[in-house]
Amino acid sequence: MDAAAITVTGLHKRFGKTHALRGLDLSVGAGTVCGLLGPNGAGKTTAVRVLATLSAPTSGQASVAGYDVVRRPDEVRRRIGFTGQHAALDEGITGRQNLRLLGRLRHLGARGARQRADELLERFELADAADRLVRTYSGGMRRRLDLIASLITRPDVLFLDEPTTGLDPRSRNEVWETVRQLAEDGTTVLLTTQYLDEADHLADDIVVVDQGIVIASGHPDELKEAIGVRVEATLADAAHLETAAKILRELTGCLTTIEADELRVSVNTGGGRGVGLPRLVRELDAAGVDAVDVALRRPSLDEVFLTLTGDTTGRN
Amino acid sequence: MSAIATTVRGRRPVSDAWTLTIRVLLFYRNSPGLIGMSLGAPLVMLVMFGYVFGSAIRIPGGEDYRSYLMPGLFVLIAVNGIMASMVGAARDLERGMTDRLRTLPISRTATLLGQAVADVMVNAVIIVLMAGVGYAVGWRVHDGAAKAIGALGLLLLLRFAVVWVGFFLGMACRREEIAAQAGLLVLPVSTVSNVYVPTAGMPGWLRTIADWNPVSCATSAARSLFGDTIGAAATSPWPLAHPIEATFAWSAVLLALFMPLAVRAFSTHGR
C-alpha cells in the first residue's frame, strides 16, 4: 500500500510561550510502522496528541485516515486507537470488563463487545488473567491490556505514545511482540519512543524529531548508512597501537581513535570510503601487527541519533 | 476496514452514558466494601454526635437529639460525595483515562453524565442503608412514605449537583493526591450548618453563612419532609423558611454553573 494514512504539513503547536511543534512534516504510509524518535521535550507526544484529536494545533494541517483532525475529529476518532503514556485502565474492575466497556463505547453492542474482548484476550495471551482485577496485574500485563484496549474496533491507525517506558526487558519484549502482531494485521502504527533500539526493532521508517521539527527520516538502515561503518581492531600488544592506527587512517581516510586500555584502534567511516576486512587484515599482517580481533560494526541508532542532534548530554 | 468498524456510525449519547454508568457500578460490584467505606464517615458522626456530644446537647422543643441529627447525616452523605467525585475525576485525568475516553467518538457530556448517574444510584443505596441504621437508633419517618421518598429525591438532586462541582474541582486539581487533600475542605463547609446544632445560637455573621449554606437548606428540607417537629421559626431567614425551594434553587444554580464548567474542563484538557 502506498496511500498515506497520516499526513502532516507545517504543524505548529504553542502552549503559552512554549513552542512544542515548529512546522512538523510527516507522512506515514498505510500499513507501515513509523517510529517517532526524539529526546524528552522534542514534541513527539504533542504531535501524537494532535493527531489523536486530543490537542488542537496552532497552525498547520494534519489528517488521519483521510480526515482532517480539526474539522472532522469524530471521523478520525472512529478510525484510531490511542494508547497514551500511562496505562489508561480501570484498576478496580477486571481486564475483561475493561475491554467490554470500551467495546460498548465503540458501539459493538453488548454481545459484539463480549466476543471481541474474549478474542483479543485469547490472542494476546491474557485469557488466564482476564477475570482478575487490573490492580493485581504486573506492569507488562497492564501495558499489554492497554494496547489491546485500543484495538477493540481494529483501528486503521494506532497511536502508541512511549509504549515501553518504565517496563522491564521481558515486559518490553512482550509489548514489542504485540506491536509486531498488530502491524501484521495491516494496522498503521505511529509510535513514539526515546529508545533507539525500540525504533530499530519495530519501525519500517524512523522519523527523528528534535525541538519540534523533523531532523531526519528514513529506513533504519538508511539512517545508519548516513553515519557510515565503524571498523575496530583489537591488538595483542600495546606497542602496535600507533602502527595499526596509521594503517587504518590510510585505508579509510578518516580519523582514528586509540583506546589504549582496551588495546583497541577504531575508525568511524562516516559516509566516507568503505573498507574491506580482508585488506585490513593483510595490511596489519604485513606490518607485523598481531590483531586479536578485527571487526566491522554498523553504528547503533544511538550513534546515529547523537550525530544528528549533536547533543551528547544525558544519553549514552 | 473491518466489518465491525464500518457498522459503527453516529452518536448514541444515551447508551454511551449508560455504559459509563455501568463502568462505575462495576467498581462497586467488584469491591462492595466501598459502600461500607462510604457509610463509615456518617456512622462515626452518628456515634460522635448522637452519643458523645449529643448527650449534652438540648434541642429547643425537646426533640430527641438523634432524631434531630439523622436528616443532617443524610445530607452529609450526599454532600461529602464531592470528595469521591473529585478524586475520581483527578485520577482519570492523571492516569490517562480521560484522554482515552476523549479519543472515542462519544459525546463528552454523555461521558460525564453517565458517571454522575452512577454516583447518584450508589448514593441512594447508601442513604437507604443509613436510614436503616437511623431506624435502629430511634429515628422515625413521621409524615408518610410519599414525603419520605420526596426527601430522598431531594437529597439525590443535591448529590447530582454536587457531583458536577466535584468533577470540575477534581479536574482543576489535576492530581489524585491534591484532589484528595482539597476534598477535605468540604468538611468545614458541611459543619457550618444546622446539621449538628440549630443556627440560632451562632454569632450573627456565622449564622448568616450557615443559614444560606445549601447543606442547611437541604437539612431543613429533609427534616420537614420526614415530619420532624422542628419547624421553621417565624424569624427564620428565607432559605430555612422555604427549605425545599431553597434546595431546588441551590441545586439548579450549581448545575447551571458546574455542568458546563466540568464538560469544558473535560473536553479541553491538554488542548
Contact B2/A77, CB-based, under 8 Å? no
CB contacts, 8 Å: A101 with chain B = 19, 22-23, 26
Contact B23/A101, CB-based, under 8 Å? yes
- Closest Cβ–Cβ partner in B16, B104, B270 for A55: B270
CB contacts, 8 Å: A94 with chain B = 30
- Cell numbers standing for residue A2: 502506498
Neighbouring C-beta atoms of residue A198, cutoff 10 Å: 23
Look at residue B133 in the predicted model and tell me its pLDDT. 94
Look at residue A9 in the predicted model and tell me its pLDDT. 96
pLDDT in tens, B226-260: 987 665 555 678 898 899 999 999 999 999 999 99
Alpha-carbon distance A81 to nearest alpha carbon in chain B (angstroms): 8
Alpha-carbon distance A57 to nearest alpha carbon in chain B (angstroms): 8
Q: Residues A193, A119, A81, A95: what is their CA dihedral angle, to the nearest 10 degrees?
A: -70
- In whole angstroms, what is the distance from residue B112 CA to residue A161 CA? 25
Confidence of residue A153 (pLDDT cuts 50, 70, 90): confident
Contact B30/A154, CB-based, under 8 Å? no
B106 touches A at CB < 8 Å: yes
Mean pLDDT in residue range A202-208: 92
CB contacts, 8 Å: B105 with chain A = 74, 77-78, 106
B55 touches A at CB < 8 Å: no
Alpha-carbon distance A117 to nearest alpha carbon in chain B (angstroms): 13
Residue of A nearest to B266 (CA): A54
Pairing between β-strand A59-64 and β-strand A264-268 as defined by DSSP bridges: unpaired
In the DSSP assignment, the letter for residue A208 is E
CB-count burial class (<10 Å; 0-12, 13-18, 19+) for B10? exposed
B101 touches A at CB < 8 Å: yes
B264 touches A at CB < 8 Å: no
Look at residue A69 in the predicted model and tell me its pLDDT. 96
pTM of the entire structure?
Answer: 0.84
Q: Kindly report the average pLDDT of chain A as a whole number.
A: 87
Q: Is the predicted pLDDT of residue B8 greater than 50, yes or no?
A: no
Contact B97/A90, CB-based, under 8 Å? yes
Contact A108/B8, CB-based, under 8 Å? yes
Alpha-carbon distance B9 to nearest alpha carbon in chain A (angstroms): 8
The residues, any chain, with a CB within 8 Å of residue A300's CB and separated by 6 or more, are A196, A197
Contact B96/A88, CB-based, under 8 Å? yes
Q: Is the predicted pLDDT of residue A312 greater than 60, yes or no?
A: no
For A34, A199, A220, B107, B205, the CA distances from A305, given in Å and listed in that order, are: 16, 12, 11, 42, 67
Contact A86/B22, CB-based, under 8 Å? no
3-state secondary structure of A233: strand
Look at residue A253 in the predicted model and tell me its pLDDT. 77
Cell 445549601: give the residue: B214
The percentage of chain B sitting over the pLDDT mark of 90, rounded to a whole number, equals 71
CB contacts, 8 Å: A67 with chain B = none
CA–chain centroid gap for B236, Å, is: 25
- In whole angstroms, what is the distance from residue A202 CA to residue A227 CA? 20
Mean pLDDT in residue range B64-78: 92
CA–chain centroid gap for A270, Å, is: 23
Q: Kindly report the average pLDDT of chain B as a whole number.
A: 90
Cell 449534652: give the residue: B56
The percentage of chain A sitting over the pLDDT mark of 70, rounded to a whole number, equals 94
pLDDT in tens, A228-269: 777 888 998 888 898 988 888 888 877 788 888 888 888 877
Alpha-carbon distance A294 to nearest alpha carbon in chain B (angstroms): 50
Residue of A nearest to B271 (CA): A55
Nearest CA among A223, A247, A235 for reference residue A306: A223
Look at residue A186 in the predicted model and tell me its pLDDT. 86
Chain A residues within 8 A (CB-CB) of chain B? 49, 52-56, 74, 77-90, 92-94, 97, 101-102, 104-108, 112, 116, 133, 149-150, 153-156
pLDDT in tens, B171-217: 999 999 999 999 999 999 999 999 998 888 899 899 999 999 999 99
The interface pTM score, or ipTM, of the predicted complex is 0.85
Contact B99/A54, CB-based, under 8 Å? yes
Q: Is the predicted pLDDT of residue B41 greater than 90, yes or no?
A: no
Nearest CA among A37, A53, A5, A62 for reference residue A186: A5
What phi, psi does A108 have (nearest 5°)?
-85, -5
Mean pLDDT in residue range B106-117: 95
- In whole angstroms, what is the distance from residue A264 CA to residue A237 CA? 10
